[in-house]
Structure 1
Amino acid sequence: MSDLPQQARLAETYAEVEDALLSRWPETRLEPSLDRIQAFAELLGEPQRAYPVIHLTGTNGKTSTSRMIDTLLRALNLRTGRFTSPHVERMSERICIDGEPMDDEAFVRAFNDVAPYTHLVDAEQPHPLSFFETVVGMAFSAFADAPVDAAVVEVGMGGSWDATNVADGKVAVVLPIAVDHAQYLGDVPAAIAREKAGIIKPGAVAILAQQTADVATILLDRAAEVGATVAREGLEFGVVSRTPAIGGQTVSLQGLRARYDEVFLPLYGAHQAQNAAVALAAVEAFLGDQPLDDAVVRDAFAEVTSPGRLEVVRRSPTILLDAAHNPHGAEAVAVAIEDSFRFSPLVGVIGVMADKDHEGLLAAFEPHLEHLVVTQNSTPRAMPAAELAATAREVFGEDRVTVEPRLADAIDKAATMAEAGEAFGDPLGSGGVLVTGSVVTVGEARAMLRRAER
């Protein structure tokens, strides 16, 4: 190990960390195995065993639910670590301690703490550590160093062979399962469910969001097989009622230990109310048999934020950002907009990744958008705007589609259309813009629009 310092590429700046991480296998290149991350965790001293974990999987809603769980735990005076992916704007958002993303200095330190060991794993394994595996190691180590009282960990993709699965969740949360990442996980929800069920470990409490019957069967079978306790949305916990309100909604939630009424949630849509019920049940299961303090629950939910999830980033016209990138997510967002807003017209700006079900996504949005501006984000994985437009014209019709390959131009064009509401027969022009289709598209739009506001 004497040559370790020469091999280890230590970083001095945030940009150098980004560069070093991005030079590794990308998140889209998968080799389904836990061998590398297990070897890495072992060299790091098994940091993921230093604190109890709440582990989340599912197709949509993981990040919002993780943020709610984190906020609730902190309201109960617990120190938290939170790992989510992908990031919206900056890589360091993936690792949060006490609700805050790591600052640049802490992110560099977290990287340098694990960097010497990455090369040892690379040398011993048939394939080098990936970008995602390295960031997971950084997160687990940073949480142990903090130290945290609880870690809220979102899987990257799937479950069984996701790098986060070297941790054993005291509570395993399975959000609604639909089809996404079909080329990696399969194109049938039941096949995906088998993979995601792998985070349910012996002796854990499994908190299950509402699922289709075939998916529920697979999850319950897994829980029975490993001796996990199960709580199901709609049976042991759930949303009792919800009313849209200015800036969000007011919900009544039935938890595992008590009912919590008149809780204001500053997020839009029935899907976020359901995420709140799941988050509440997960925290109750994590803490034991006592109900939570009513005022603490209210205060915590009132503080919840979820960037890029039906987030209003500008008014006049209103511009909403949502990271929906599959048909299931698009349906939830479309219904939430109808539920909480009165836009006339609503103009969509959509840029997607080439490996996604773009046709299903467009079909889900079609009844809700008067017009669509097709664009692309700046990554190599983006579907070219012209290619997306060809499908969009089939779904929306020629007259309802405009192509603007540059995202900034697309947003400007959509905002102009939304303001000129009378062109769509609404003289008041109470239009809105929805930017969606990909976390990357939304992240780039968010950075752009927030810069312009400053």
Structure 2
Amino acid sequence: MQITTYQEALDYIYSFIDPTRQGSPDPAIAARSLARLRALLDIAGNPHQQLAAVVVAGTKGKGSTCALIEAMARAAGLRVGLWTSPHLSSYRERIQIDREPISQATLIQLVRDVQPIVDAFDTATYGRPSTFDIGFVMAMRHFVAAHVDLAVVEVGLGGRFDAAATITPLIAVISSISYDHMAILGPTLHDIAYNKAGIMRPGRPAITVPQHPEAAAVFAAEAQTVGAPLWLAAEHTVEPWLASGQPLTYPAPPQPGRLRGGFQRENARLAMGTALLLRDQGVPIDDQAIRRGLAEAWWPGRFELIAGPPRILIDGAHNGDSAQKLWQAISDELPHRQFILVLGTSRDKDIAAIAAALAPQAAHVIITRSNHPKAMDLDRIAAEVAPFTNAPMQIVPVVAEALATAQALAEQDDLICVTGSLFVVGAAREALGLAVAD
């Protein structure tokens, strides 16, 4: 079939979704998935090997860290590709150059180009490619064709067996680690950190932030095993952890200009540390570019405040640790009369941990869900939330209607918070006219 429209291109990409294919904690199964992608990349010309790239893994903050690194590199005059997931409203968000989402016409052409590659693929040996596989191949080919100077690549899940593990990065970046995706990555911080640490490569610097001791020990062991110089984006300097050299000084206080929330300071330190290490490798990012990128970087749906009254805060916190940090940032930065919580999440999330951090603070709780197939059932969310609140609770299945219900309940000094899932966040942004789904 000849792809001629954007919708046909999307239909082709999504036709490779297999609802029976689930992520597995079995390393052998995960390794086979990675082998499948390597084989697909090989017949596509191995575009990932033609890129200078930074790979960013982590449980939380990795998207914001990607946005900050991208902004700093772009402020230095570099042409920068950005691959992230999931998207909020448009698939085109996943593949960007200089923060411009790929055009519909270019995506159509990429799909046309990848069709014969997929048709020639040895499915008998490797199995059918996934939607994520195809998107990753298209992104890498797009970046090569556009002659980007640097690709900033966000890990989709884990790291060791993710698509990004096919890349040998200039810098391996690991943001904060906490509990998430335990059914796939394992039940302990050691297991989760082991998966994230898999992006480290021999002789290539790696950088992380202060971590729980269980995760920190894993990163130190992995760095020693593979021979990766390991750096720590600490409070005041970037410190050599298992690397030679002197501490590096941040060229500005780690306070992003447009990315609100105290938790973003840690991401800012990590991004600035990455930029400094890139500079050491000859990538021309000067102090002025770092400062400008820090001031201008933007990542929607993360502590995104919409002016009121009443004010509406949209944040993609989707695990207990993120929810705790969200509430701390609200307490520190957003004084309010009543807190109205609009909450929806995905089936694989620890809703009890999210509820424990946020529900006790709420004067009203409105339970909702996105249209995503992985959205958690409304009754289950309500049952998980109930032990943590005495506030009135309503179930409103459609995000736009849930938001309207919250607005009807709120007075001008109240704060509405929509959280629990990036898919819910995307629907809320569309309801508020901040984005258009395609």
TM-score, normalised relative to structure 2? 0.91
Counterpart of 2:313? 320
Q: Distance in 2 between matches of 1:227 and 1:169?
A: 14
Counterpart of 1:395? 388
Contact 1:207 1:278 in 2 (8 A): yes
Distance 1:225 1:10, change over 3 A: farther
Counterpart of 1:287? 279
Distance 1:189 1:181, change over 3 A: same
Counterpart of 2:26? none
Counterpart of 2:243? none
The one-letter code of the counterpart of 1:327 is: G
Map 1:299-318 onto structure 2 (within 5 A).
Answer: 299-318=292-311
Contact 1:321 1:435 in 2 (8 A): yes
Counterpart of 1:250? none
Q: Deviations over 1:396-431 (max 9, x none)?
A: 13x432221222221111112222xxxxxxxxx401
Map 1:45-124 onto structure 2 (within 5 A).
Answer: 45-124=45-124
The answer on 1:256 being equivalent to 2:248 is: yes
Map 1:319-358 onto structure 2 (within 5 A).
Answer: 319-358=312-351
Q: Distance in 1 between matches of 2:70 and 2:435?
A: 30
Deviation for aligned residue 1:124: 4.1
Distance 1:15 1:327, change over 3 A: same
Contact 1:83 1:96 in 2 (8 A): yes
Contact 1:65 1:278 in 2 (8 A): yes
**Number of equivalences:** 421
Distance 1:83 1:222, change over 3 A: same
Q: Distance in 2 between matches of 1:221 and 1:40?
A: 31
Q: Distance in 1 between matches of 2:30 and 2:253?
A: 44
Map 1:121-160 onto structure 2 (within 5 A).
Answer: 121-160=121-160
The one-letter code of the counterpart of 1:379 is: H
Aligned-partner SS, 1:78? coil
Map 1:372-383 onto structure 2 (within 5 A).
Answer: 372-383=365-376
Misfit runs of 4+, over 6 Å: none
Deviation for aligned residue 1:257: 4.5
Contact 1:80 1:148 in 2 (8 A): yes
The answer on 1:414 being equivalent to 2:406 is: yes
Q: Deviations over 1:107-136 (max 9, x none)?
A: 112222222111222534342000111111
Counterpart of 2:242? none
Distance 1:188 1:367, change over 3 A: same
Counterpart of 1:450? 433
Counterpart of 1:274? 266
Deviates more, 1:114-123 or 1:160-169: 114-123
Deviation for aligned residue 1:29: 2.6
Counterpart of 2:9? 17
Q: Which runs of 5+ in 2 are unaligned?
A: 24-28, 240-245
The one-letter code of the counterpart of 1:162 is: D
The one-letter code of the counterpart of 1:448 is: A
Q: Distance in 2 between matches of 1:229 and 1:99?
A: 30
The answer on 1:364 being equivalent to 2:360 is: no
Q: Distance in 1 between matches of 2:247 and 2:118?
A: 42
Q: Distance in 1 between matches of 2:279 and 2:95?
A: 23
The one-letter code of the counterpart of 2:419 is: T
- Same amino acid, percent of matched pairs: 33
The one-letter code of the counterpart of 2:37 is: I
Q: Distance in 2 between matches of 1:258 and 1:334?
A: 28
The answer on 1:191 being equivalent to 2:212 is: no
Q: Distance in 2 between matches of 1:292 and 1:376?
A: 42
Counterpart of 1:32? 30
The answer on 1:180 being equivalent to 2:218 is: no
Deviation for aligned residue 1:35: 1.2
Aligned-partner SS, 1:282? helix
Q: Distance in 2 between matches of 1:43 and 1:306?
A: 34
The one-letter code of the counterpart of 2:317 is: A
The one-letter code of the counterpart of 2:290 is: V
The one-letter code of the counterpart of 2:198 is: G
The answer on 1:211 being equivalent to 2:211 is: yes
Q: Deviations over 1:239-286 (max 9, x none)?
A: 9xxxxxxxxxxxxxx982444248652222221111011001111111
The one-letter code of the counterpart of 1:49 is: Q
Contact 2:255 2:264 in 1 (8 A): no
Contact 1:175 1:210 in 2 (8 A): no
Contact 1:88 1:440 in 2 (8 A): yes
Distance 1:122 1:339, change over 3 A: farther
Distance 1:390 1:235, change over 3 A: closer
Q: Distance in 2 between matches of 1:138 and 1:123?
A: 19
Distance 1:49 1:108, change over 3 A: same
Task: Give the CA RMSD over aligned residues.
Answer: 2.3
Deviation for aligned residue 1:289: 6.9
Q: Distance in 2 between matches of 1:369 and 1:37?
A: 45
Q: Distance in 2 between matches of 1:177 and 1:451?
A: 30
Q: Distance in 2 between matches of 1:41 and 1:169?
A: 16
Deviation for aligned residue 1:163: 1.4
Contact 1:255 1:277 in 2 (8 A): no
Contact 1:313 1:449 in 2 (8 A): no
Counterpart of 2:162? 162
Deviation for aligned residue 1:432: 1.3
Deviation for aligned residue 1:296: 2.7
Aligned-partner SS, 2:217? helix
